[in-house]
Amino acid sequence: MDPELVSAAIAESLAGWRWDGQILQPPGTDPDGAPAFDVSIGEQLVEFVGYGWEPEHANAIVDAMHRLGLRLYDPQVDERFA
């Protein structure tokens, strides 16, 4: 994955979210609190590990990454979503 493309997609689709290093947070969040997503960008995937999030936060991230042609994979149910 191209980190610059991921950064651009997040900046465009998640305007108002704070991305400090690897931690991505929605607007109005305490910088030391939750909700928060630990973001890792690998060669073939972008991984978001969420803490204290609500469904609307996850849906916003899925929408942002979908714009890059990426699909959601949920390892807890072993299912890939289009």
Q: Which of 51, 53, 24 is nearest to 39 (CA)?
A: 24
- For the stretch 10-62, pLDDT in tens is 999 999 999 998 999 999 999 999 999 999 999 988 999 999 999 899 889 98
Query: Is the peptide bond preceding residue 35 cis, with omega within 30 degrees of 0?
Result: yes
The residue behind tokens 């610059």 is 4
Check residue 78 and give its pLDDT: 62
Mean pLDDT of the chain: 88
What is the β-pairing status of strands 23-25 and 46-51?
A: unpaired
pTM for this model (two decimals):
0.85
| Domain range list for the chain | 3-81
